[in-house]
Structure 1
Amino acid sequence: MAQLIKLQDYVSRYAQDIYLYPSRYVRLKKKQWEGLKEKWETGPVESFQNVMEQQGDKQPSTLFQKLKHIVRQPEEQQSDPVQEHTPVSADDQEPFMDPRSFHSISHIKTEDALKKHFLDELFPFQLKWASSTLTERSFVAKEYTKDPTLKFLLQRFPDTFLVLYKPIFLLKKAPVEAELILITPASAICISFIEAEEDAVFVGSKERFWTKKTKDRETKILNPLIALNRTEKIVKTLFDMDGVELPVQKLLISRSGFIDYPMRPYGVQFIEKRSFEDWFMSLRGMKSPLKHMQLKAAQVLLQFCQTTSVRRLEWENSPGDGQ
C-alpha cells in the first residue's frame, strides 16, 4: 500500500520525521499481516491481546508509559536505498487494525480475499497516521473515509510510493490547494483525475473551460490543466530552492473516459481509458526501495504545507500543563 504522508491541511506524523516513519510503516504493516494470516491459517482467534503478545507487542497501560519508549532517530541517512535502524516507540504499540478485524476472518475462504480484507481494514489506520501525531490531531472529513480515488491509490501502489493528497501549501503566507502529488523512488508525479460517466469524452483546449461529452449531453468543466500546472510549478520551485534532484512529471488521468486534445500541450501526459491499465501496471511493477532523494523531496514539500490541528485530549489534561 502506498503511504499517505499528507492529507489536505491535516497534521501528519510523517512531517515530524520523514526518514523514520515510511520504513516503520512497512515494518508494522508486515508484522500485522503475518499475525492476521497466521490466525487465518490456524483457525479461530482467542483474543486480540493474545495476537499482539505473540507478536511481541505488549501495550503500555498509559500514554506516559508509551513515552518512555520513544527514542528519536537522527535524520542523517544518506545512503540509497534508505535503511532504518528503528528503536521501539509508541507507534509500535498501537495496532494497525481494529481488534475486531482478527475476529471476522473465519468466513474468508482464500488468501486473496484475506488480503482484500486486510487492505480494507488498514485504510482507516492510514488516515489516522495522516491526521494525527502523539500530541495533536486533525478532524478528518467524512468524504475522505469513502473517497474511492484515495483508496485506490493507497491500496494498489507499492509501499515505497508516498502520497500527498490535495495538500494545501502555505506560500508567502497565502494558502494554495494543490492536486495529488505522488512521490516515487524515481520521480515526483503531479496528477489530476477527471472522472465522469463511462466513456465520457473531454474536449480540451487552452481556454478556461473544456467540454465534457456524454451520450446525450454536453457540459462545461473547468480546464483541469490550470490546477495541474499550478501544482507542478509549486513542486519545481520548492525542489529548486532546496536542491532536490528528482524529475517532476505532470499527468492528467481519465480512467473511464477519453481526452480529445488535437494539439496537446508540451510537458503533460494524458492517460485515458485505453492506456490507463498499461501505465498503472508499469508503475505498480516498480520494485525500487525508498531512496534518500525521494525522502528529501517529501520533506521539502511537507515543510511548506499548511497544518490545522488541535492538541489531543489526553495532552490537554496531562500533568505539567498547569491543570
Structure 2
Amino acid sequence: MSATFALLGLASLSGCATEDEHGDADLRMGYDLDCPRWRCGYNSAEVNGKSVRELRLDGQANADGVAIAGFLPPLGGLLGWELGVEGDSLVARGGLLGTSTLRGAQLVGSTILFDLGEGLSLPVLIAGYEEVEAWGAGDPIAAYSLVYLDLDGLGLQRSVCQGTLTDPLLASVVVLAGERYDEDTKTVVPDQDGWITLGCAGSASAKLALLGYGPHGDVDGEGTSATVAQRQATLKMITADYCGTGEAHTVDGVPLEWENRAGTVVPATLPPAGSLEAIWTEAGALCLDEPRLGDDVVLGCELPSCGDLTLDDGEWATYAVLD
C-alpha cells in the first residue's frame, strides 16, 4: 500500500450547521479499533450534516442539495480545471491550454468546492491518496482522504467520513463512477452517467470495490467488469439482505468468510464443516444454513437449507466464523 498526504490549511470557509442524520448503517460497518478500517470503518460521507455519498460531476445538486461547484489544483491555478473520473479513479483536467491532467498522488493538495445551497460554500481538501490492495483480483484501488474545516465544531478538521474526529486522515473514500446504490432496497442503480458514489472505508460500496465488483473493477483477474446482477448479489451478500427486500441482518464487526464463483476471492482458511451461511444471487440468499448473527435472526421470508446447492448455483458463498 502506498500513501501520500498534504498538510491541512483550510481557511475562508462558510457553511451551515444542521444535525440531520444521513445514516446508511445498513450499507456500512461502523468503526472498531479492533477491526481493520477497510473491514469495519466509518459512517457515510457527509459535510456539515449533508450527504455527499452520491454526487454529480456536472454541477447539479444531489438529493440533499449539495453540488460540486469547482475544483482548484494544488498550486491554486484558476484556469478552468474540472473534476472527472477515469474508471473508478478521480482525475482533474485543465491548465493553460486545457490539456493538463492530474491523477493519483498529483491530486493531493487540491480543493473541491462544494455548494451547500442558499449561497453557502465549503472547500474540501484532497488531503491524502493511497492505493489499497484489492481483496480479489486486479490492481490496487485508488482511495482519497477528503477533509474540511467544521466551523460549527470549533474549527476542527473533519473527514467527510463521519466518526473520524481524532485523525481525519485515517478515513479514506473509494470512488464508484457511473453508478448509485439504493440504501433502502440494497440494490444497484446502474447507468448513472455523471454520478459518482463515495464509499467510506468499511461501507458496503467500498467493500464492493475492494472485492473487484465496482463498476470498472476486475472480477475475474482478466480485466472483466462484473455484471449488474453480480454487483447486486455482492451488495446483498455484504449487507446480509437474505430476503432481497432491503432489510439487512448484520452488525458492526461480525467476522465472515466469503468466496466468489470466479475463484478470485477465497476464504483465508478452509471453512469448517457446518459453517456455510448462504449462497447468494442478485435476489438475496438462495438458501440459508448458519446466519452470521446466529439462530436468533428473524426473517421476513422462508429460505431452504443449502442442502445440495453449491457455489455454482450463485455468485457468492459465505461462511459464518464459528466459536
TM-score (norm: length of structure 1): 0.29
Higher relative contact order (CA 8 A, sep 6+): 1
Structure of higher CA gyration radius: 1
The structure whose residues are more often helix, as a share, is: 1
TM-score (norm: length of structure 2): 0.29
